[in-house]
Amino acid sequence: MVLNRRAMLGTLGGLVVGGALAATAWPAAAATFDQKSAPFGWTPHKLDPVACAKVAYDGYWFNDYGCCYGAFYAIIGTMGETFGAPYNQFPFTMMEVGKSGISDFGTICGALLGVASSYSLFWGRNERNPMVSDLFRWYEKTSFPMYDPGDAAQGVKGPLPTSLSDSVLCHISASRWCTSSKRAQSSKDRNERCARVTADVVTQGIAILNAKIDGTFKPTGKSEAVAYCGECHGKDKQADNAKGLMDCRPCHGGSEHVQDKFQNHP
Amino acid sequence: MVLNRRAMLGTLGGLVVGGALAATAWPAAAATFDQKSAPFGWTPHKLDPVACAKVAYDGYWFNDYGCCYGAFYAIIGTMGETFGAPYNQFPFTMMEVGKSGISDFGTICGALLGVASSYSLFWGRNERNPMVSDLFRWYEKTSFPMYDPGDAAQGVKGPLPTSLSDSVLCHISASRWCTSSKRAQSSKDRNERCARVTADVVTQGIAILNAKIDGTFKPTGKSEAVAYCGECHGKDKQADNAKGLMDCRPCHGGSEHVQDKFQNHP
């Protein structure tokens, strides 16, 4: 199914203009969906949250790979440095993709994606989703950054202002912090804040990981807003049209920030 | 840095209560950030968008692993089935994490995450971000689903309504389709729609991949809304407090959907 020259005639300038030709160049695709390791088959190990928080913080700054790389390396990279394969076989720089909410788009907080992705090497959705949900809800409700690297700070030393995100989205989390702290989005302070948040997310993520391994993990439920709105917008209810578990309030709570900024911007 | 019993004394009930103890149990963390493969060092190959769209569609349904798995496997799995290592060494089920916007949260569309992650095996941020941005902007502006599996449909056969997302977020993309098509979020129709969107995203993602390999890829700019709002909220401007590149209009354009639904819900 890899493209040869003849089939490439069907693809010019980013537009598929010759699908029929390309389709005749191969037999119908019959993917095996095989993989070398068992599905969700890696073995999880307990980790030290204090040591790994430092790895997460340093990983954020390492070659500026950012939050998702830092968080993922702090978990899977740490296992790799201790146990070798399969953990150390992972192409870790792939996780740079999560930086600033996926290549700067501001969607999911990359630190959350890094930890959630690490869980997915060990557990399928029935086991993993409650762990991810627990981590994400903690993130929505927690004022951070809390981590302080002290003299090992790579951006800005000393305490930083904290803010509550109410959201797992990078855009809302970072922008709220910038607004409340009067710091620029493009400032070194904001970088430092996100490096510390990466450490915070890993600290909490490892608490969940360790509890899961111990058998003591107890999932929390949906957010109050999602449960409330779900009374009408949930499965089999009268308006089953809203997908997702993000806290509803930041965008549907009437905040001045989500009014019309294109017509009557203050 | 892996946790032993003594250090675990510092972590109880999900709360870090003995950081000092844990910190003394190890030397200061000194992560190497080594990886076996060169950073962003895998070799990209051109792919056939028609054949891979079918893999993406089928991958969505395979064990219900969903959109992110389907999109990623259609690219990296296809390379693995043809070229073997390193592509076929990837623990593909990890990508299930992106299903429904990261474990059901409705953040980034998982199909977009799957394609963006595949790019990140080949290219670092300077090369990759324009590719991701191009794909994401295409997604914001395109009415889908367009892919039709014909008799090979695994959810619902026949044509489906289309909708414009204006957003890369699963929550907005899926909810807008449900609202405009009067289909339930939890319906088989919505699953089928997302399976077809996975094929659409892979088709476009491979057009970008192939063009990049050919040297003909030309990045588009920011969305009109992001450029407009960036005149004040961009780097070094008067209100540099907004992180991200998502189209601003869905949440900041005065839509009835983002008014206060907790006080005066219609």
Task: List, as one string, the DSSP characters of B76-124.
Answer: IIHHHHHH-TTGGGS-GGGGGGGTTTTTTS--B-HHHHHHHHHHTTT--
Supply φ then ψ for residue B22, to 5 degrees.
Answer: -60, -40
Asked if B253 has any chain A CB less than 8 Å from its own CB, the reply is: yes
Residue B66 and residue B160: Cα distance in Å, rounded? 19
Interchain CB distance below 8 Å, B217 and A14: yes
Confidence of residue A239 (pLDDT cuts 50, 70, 90): very high
**Cα–Cα distances in angstroms (integers) from residue A158 to residues A4, A150, A193, A228, B30, in the given order:** 57, 7, 11, 40, 22
A-chain residues near B11 (CB < 8 A): 49, 206-207, 210
Interface of B with A in 45-84 (CB under 8 A): 45-52, 54-55, 58-59, 62-63, 73-74, 77-79, 81-83
Residue A239 and residue A230: Cα distance in Å, rounded? 9
Interchain CB distance below 8 Å, A254 and B254: no
Residue owning tokens 């599905």: A39
For residue range A133-172, what is the model confidence (pLDDT) as tens digits? 999 999 999 999 999 999 999 999 999 999 999 999 999 9
State the pLDDT at residue B3: 57
Asked if B220 has any chain A CB less than 8 Å from its own CB, the reply is: no
ipTM, interface predicted TM-score of the complex: 0.91
**Cα–Cα distances in angstroms (integers) from residue B87 to residues A90, A113, A243, B77, in the given order:** 11, 22, 32, 7
Helices (H), A38-150: 49-61, 66-72, 78-83, 110-119, 125-141
Residue owning tokens 């889908």: B144
Of B105, B235, B253, the CB nearest to A246: B105
Residues ≥6 apart with Cβ < 8 Å to A247:
A140, A166, A167, A223, A225, A226
Interchain CB distance below 8 Å, B185 and A243: yes
Interchain CB distance below 8 Å, A29 and B54: yes
Interchain CB distance below 8 Å, B31 and A58: yes
Confidence of residue A12 (pLDDT cuts 50, 70, 90): very low
B-chain residues near A35 (CB < 8 A): 88, 90-93
State the pLDDT at residue B29: 58
Interchain CB distance below 8 Å, B48 and A22: yes
- Cβ atoms within 10 A of the Cβ of B230, count? 17
Interchain CB distance below 8 Å, B132 and A103: yes
Supply φ then ψ for residue B184, to 5 degrees.
Answer: -75, 145
Inter-residue contact B86 to A91 (CB < 8 Å)? yes
Which parts of chain B have pLDDT scores under 50?
5-28
Name residue B163's beta-bridge partners: B144
Of B33, B42, B261, the CB nearest to A77: B33
Q: Where are the domains of chain B?
A: 49-218, 220-250
A-chain residues near B186 (CB < 8 A): 235-236, 240
Instruction: Please give, rounded to a whole number of angstroms, the shortest distance from the CA of A238 to a CA of chain B.
Output: 9
A-chain residues near B126 (CB < 8 A): none
- pTM higher than 0.80 for the full model? yes
Interchain CB distance below 8 Å, A13 and B216: yes
Of A34, A121, A136, the CB nearest to B105: A136
Query: How high is the mean pLDDT of chain B?
Result: 90
Structure-token pair, residue A152: 């090992």
Instruction: Please give, rounded to a whole number of angstroms, the shortest distance from the CA of A141 to a CA of chain B.
Output: 15
Residues ≥6 apart with Cβ < 8 Å to B108:
A101, A102, A105, A107, A108, B98, B101, B102, B168, B169, B170
A-chain residues near B9 (CB < 8 A): none
Task: List, as one string, the DSSP characters of B54-72.
Answer: HHHHHHHHGGG-HHHHHHH
Of A51, A244, A260, the CB nearest to B29: A51
Average pLDDT over residues A174-185: 97
State the pLDDT at residue A27: 44
Closest CA to A112 of A137, A130, A77, A141: A137
A-chain residues near B23 (CB < 8 A): 50-51
Helices (H), chain B: 5-8, 19-24, 49-61, 66-72, 78-83, 110-119, 125-141, 170-181, 188-214, 224-233, 249-252
Residue B11 and residue B3: Cα distance in Å, rounded? 10
For residue range B228-249, what is the model confidence (pLDDT) as tens digits? 999 999 999 999 999 999 999 9
> Does residue A22 surpass a pLDDT of 70?
no
Residues ≥6 apart with Cβ < 8 Å to A27:
none
Query: How high is the mean pLDDT of chain A?
Result: 90
Q: How do strand A15-16 and strand A143-144 relate by DSSP bridges?
A: unpaired
Give me the numbers of helices (H) and strands (E) for chain A, helices first please: 11, 4
Interchain CB distance below 8 Å, B33 and A185: no
Inter-residue contact A189 to A226 (CB < 8 Å)? no
User: Which percentage of chain A shows pLDDT scores above 70?
Assistant: 89
A-chain residues near B168 (CB < 8 A): 105, 107
> Does residue A23 surpass a pLDDT of 50?
no
**Cα–Cα distances in angstroms (integers) from residue B161 to residues B185, B186, B189, in the given order:** 14, 16, 10
For residue range B158-181, what is the model confidence (pLDDT) as tens digits? 999 999 999 999 999 999 999 999
Closest chain A residue to the Cα of B21, Cα to Cα: A50
Asked if A256 has any chain B CB less than 8 Å from its own CB, the reply is: no
Residue A74 DSSP symbol: I
Asked if A126 has any chain B CB less than 8 Å from its own CB, the reply is: no
For residue range A49-102, what is the model confidence (pLDDT) as tens digits? 999 999 999 999 999 999 999 999 999 999 999 999 999 999 999 999 999 999
Asked if B90 has any chain A CB less than 8 Å from its own CB, the reply is: yes
Residue A177 and residue A191: Cα distance in Å, rounded? 11
Asked if B257 has any chain A CB less than 8 Å from its own CB, the reply is: yes
State the pLDDT at residue B25: 43
State the pLDDT at residue A264: 79
Asked if A154 has any chain B CB less than 8 Å from its own CB, the reply is: no
Closest chain B residue to the Cα of A136, Cα to Cα: B105
Interchain CB distance below 8 Å, A120 and B94: yes
For B33-46, letters b (16+ CB in 10 Å) and e give: bebebeebebebbb
Confidence of residue A20 (pLDDT cuts 50, 70, 90): very low
Of A62, A88, A185, the CB nearest to B240: A185
Asked if A40 has any chain B CB less than 8 Å from its own CB, the reply is: yes
Residue A41 and residue B99: Cα distance in Å, rounded? 18
Radius of gyration (Cα) for chain B, nearest Å? 21
Asked if B195 has any chain A CB less than 8 Å from its own CB, the reply is: no
